[in-house]
Chain A
Amino acid sequence: MDYFLITTSLLKILGILFVIILPMVSYTIYAERRVSAFIQDRVGPNRVGPAGLFQPVADIAKLLFKEDFSPRNANTFYYWLAPCLALIPAIVTFAVVPFGSTLFGVPMVIADINVGILFVFAIASLGVYGIVLGGWASNSKYPFLGGVRSSSQMISYELSLGLAVIPIFLVVGQLRLTDVVRYQIDHGWMIAPFLGDWTNPAKWLLAIPMLVSFVVFSVAIFAETNRLPFDLPEAEQELAGGYNTEYSSMKFGLFFLGEYAAMITGSAIVVTLFFGAWHLPIPSWHGGFHWALIDGSGDGWRGILGGLFNIATFFAKVAVLLFVFIWVRWTLPRFRYDQLMRLGWVFFFEIALVNIFITAIILAYYPA
């Protein structure tokens, strides 16, 4: 038994879950309310604590003390199972995300498995079961419609989600996410592959399919996490809240947490694949201009501070993407359902497919 591995993994799991993800979920909800208020020229929650910063605590206390009501004809087992299924995949997906370089010599990724991105897709797709089950077990028509919409939406967008990242793995040649990060450190971030090598025309050409990939992937992530403009499964105005209409108290809270945890995981995946994960190049003039790399490999305090800096960089990037999520939500109206399907099947699917071929052709003409 490798006790060192087990202990460090446990510590990483607990740390990531209770120190980072759950507080981040709470504060994403707070940010959502505050940013939406600012965008709509309102003030937002500003009563609990300074600038309303303790609002998440109040929210959770409220949810815990509310009456936990189950409809009489609900299928109790699945009705109870659904909120858990909505939350767990979003959190489990985080296991393969490299959220930092190393700290005390321990790599900052919970499970550095070689199927990396496949694991992400496999687990993230399970999130839909929570929604479908919740919608079906409630035995009510609006949740049912929400659940059905959710499943068809997932199928349409999971395709382009998967196809959109293939160009990246064509370039990198590995499915392991830490290898993707390593590649980006050595050759420039995926969103701008020319950064590492200004003179190479192949890198400039690659920027085009990478940008397309990025757009398709992020739009698919929006659809995957049921965010506006693709929030058809919840659609307050049409479905009275969709799949979670019949849920109350902390069961509703779990759906809510699950949605935001999925957002965080989605942003983390985007950051890992396109924005160099924890990597932040620092300009340095020691012996001529070059980009310095800060990571956790230094001795003593240098290494620890470097490792912490990498983790902070990663979550700062995630936070920026979360802001974009919120910003988009309070800007765009919802798509009509046929528009959503058309967009998924007729446009993104094809664009992602063509994109793979373009990338392959570029790589074939300019072998690394």
Chain B
Amino acid sequence: MSVCVSRPKLNWRERIYLPAIVGGMAITIKHLKNMLLGRTKVTIQYPEQTLDSEMPEHYRGAPALVRDTDGRVRCVACQLCEFICPPRAIKIVAGEIPPTDRFAKVEKYPAEFDIDMIRCIFCGMCEEVCPEQAIYLRKDYAITGFTREEMVHHKDKLLEIGGVMHGVILKWNEKK
């Protein structure tokens, strides 16, 4: 079935184009003028200006490992995050804590903890699944590197981003 679209009948002003052209040019020059006078709000100039201060609390940036107030890496290498990670960005090699250590009760620690930031999708499932509150998504978003190797965050880098976590459950301390 064909539909006949009725075309609007143009009057002579519309048909000679020129008034419309002049009107259009007036609009564009107005934008140019406002831009030159600084009246137009444009996007921020990224590397110089950032919105870091206005970032919401729930922002999900680069995942990081944290230490507790005793200086111990909170991760116990249970590998739940490695298991849950949808893009399989996390790789953990567990190590054993020697029996003489103060935290021998913990038994395991991450000897290696790599997060491939090329694969990471910032979903936050590692943070959600972690029973030890050891991994957090921080507000770092500018993760750059020249090689694939540089884009893998190793344990020390993760700890550096993470820092120390205060004031949460410290169940591995000796009972007072």
The interface centre, meaning the residue of A43, A46, A331, A332 with most chain B CB atoms within 10 A of its CB, is A331
Asked if A330 contacts B28 (CB within 8 A), the reply is yes
Q: Which of A42, A46, A327 contacts B28 (CB 8 A)?
A: A327
Interface residues on B, range: 10 to 19
Asked if A38 contacts B25 (CB within 8 A), the reply is no
Asked if B42 contacts A327 (CB within 8 A), the reply is no
Q: How far is the CA of A44 from the CA of B21 in the complex (A)?
A: 25
How many residues of A are counted as interface, with CB atoms below 8 angstroms from the partner's CB atoms? Answer: 13
Asked if B28 contacts A41 (CB within 8 A), the reply is no
Q: How far is the CA of A46 from the CA of B49 in the complex (A)?
A: 14
Q: How far is the CA of A315 from the CA of B45 in the complex (A)?
A: 34
Asked if A41 contacts B31 (CB within 8 A), the reply is yes
Q: Which residues of A contact B42 (CB under 8 A)?
A: 41-43
Q: Give residues of chain A (326-346) contacting chain B, Cβ–Cβ below 8 Å.
A: 327-328, 330-332
- A228-240 to B contact mask, C-beta < 8 Å, 1/0: 0000000000000
- For residue B143, CB closer than 8 A to chain A, the reply is no
Q: How far is the CA of A46 from the CA of B42 in the complex (A)?
A: 14
Interface segment, one of B1-9, B32-40, B74-82, B90-98: B32-40
Asked if A40 contacts B31 (CB within 8 A), the reply is yes
Q: Give residues of chain B (103-139) contacting chain A, Cβ–Cβ below 8 Å.
A: none
8 cross-chain pairs, A with B, having the tightest CB-CB distances, nearest first: A38-B35, A331-B28, A39-B28, A38-B32, A331-B24, A331-B25, A41-B40, A39-B32
Q: How far is the CA of A328 from the CA of B24 in the complex (A)?
A: 9
Q: How far is the CA of A295 from the CA of B129 in the complex (A)?
A: 83
Q: Give residues of chain B (1-58) contacting chain A, Cβ–Cβ below 8 Å.
A: 21, 24-25, 27-29, 31-32, 35-36, 40, 42-43, 45
Closest A residue to B20 by beta carbon equals A332
Asked if B29 contacts A327 (CB within 8 A), the reply is yes
Asked if A35 contacts B32 (CB within 8 A), the reply is yes
Asked if B45 contacts A39 (CB within 8 A), the reply is no
Q: Which residues of B contact A43 (CB under 8 A)?
A: 42-43, 45
Closest B residue to A328 by beta carbon equals B25
Minimal beta-carbon separation of A231 from chain B (angstroms):
16
Q: Which residues of B contact A46 (CB under 8 A)?
A: 45
Q: Which residues of A contact B27 (CB under 8 A)?
A: 331
Minimal beta-carbon separation of A61 from chain B (angstroms):
21
Q: Which of A38, A328, A332 contacts B31 (CB 8 A)?
A: A38
Asked if B25 contacts A327 (CB within 8 A), the reply is yes
Q: Which residues of B contact A42 (CB under 8 A)?
A: 42-43
Q: How far is the CA of A35 from the CA of B42 in the complex (A)?
A: 15
Q: Which residues of B contact A332 (CB under 8 A)?
A: 21, 24
Q: Which of B24, B36, B45 contacts A38 (CB 8 A)?
A: B36
Q: How far is the CA of A38 from the CA of B32 in the complex (A)?
A: 5
- 6 further A-B pairs in the complex, CB-CB below 8 A; given A38-B32, A327-B29, A331-B27: A38-B35, A42-B43, A327-B25, A327-B32, A331-B21, A332-B24
Q: How far is the CA of A43 from the CA of B40 in the complex (A)?
A: 10
Q: Which residues of B contact A328 (CB under 8 A)?
A: 25
- A16-57 to B contact mask, C-beta < 8 Å, 1/0: 000000000000000000010011111100100000000000
Q: Which residues of A contact B36 (CB under 8 A)?
A: 38
Minimal beta-carbon separation of A333 from chain B (angstroms):
9
The interface centre, meaning the residue of B35, B42, B43 with most chain A CB atoms within 10 A of its CB, is B35
Q: How far is the CA of A62 from the CA of B40 in the complex (A)?
A: 31
Q: Which residues of B contact A39 (CB under 8 A)?
A: 28-29, 31-32, 35
Asked if B24 contacts A41 (CB within 8 A), the reply is no
Minimal beta-carbon separation of B49 from chain A (angstroms):
12
Q: How far is the CA of A43 from the CA of B32 in the complex (A)?
A: 11
Q: How far is the CA of A219 from the CA of B69 in the complex (A)?
A: 76
Please, could you name 19 A-B residue pairs with CB atoms under 8 Å apart, sorted by A?
Answer: A35-B32, A38-B32, A39-B28, A39-B35, A41-B31, A41-B35, A41-B40, A41-B42, A43-B43, A46-B45, A327-B25, A327-B28, A327-B29, A327-B32, A328-B25, A331-B21, A331-B28, A332-B21, A332-B24
Minimal beta-carbon separation of A221 from chain B (angstroms):
16
Minimal beta-carbon separation of B123 from chain A (angstroms):
32
Closest B residue to A324 by beta carbon equals B25
Q: How far is the CA of A212 from the CA of B45 in the complex (A)?
A: 46
Q: Which residues of B contact A38 (CB under 8 A)?
A: 31-32, 35-36
Q: Which residues of A contact B45 (CB under 8 A)?
A: 43, 46
Closest A residue to B32 by beta carbon equals A38
Closest A residue to B35 by beta carbon equals A38
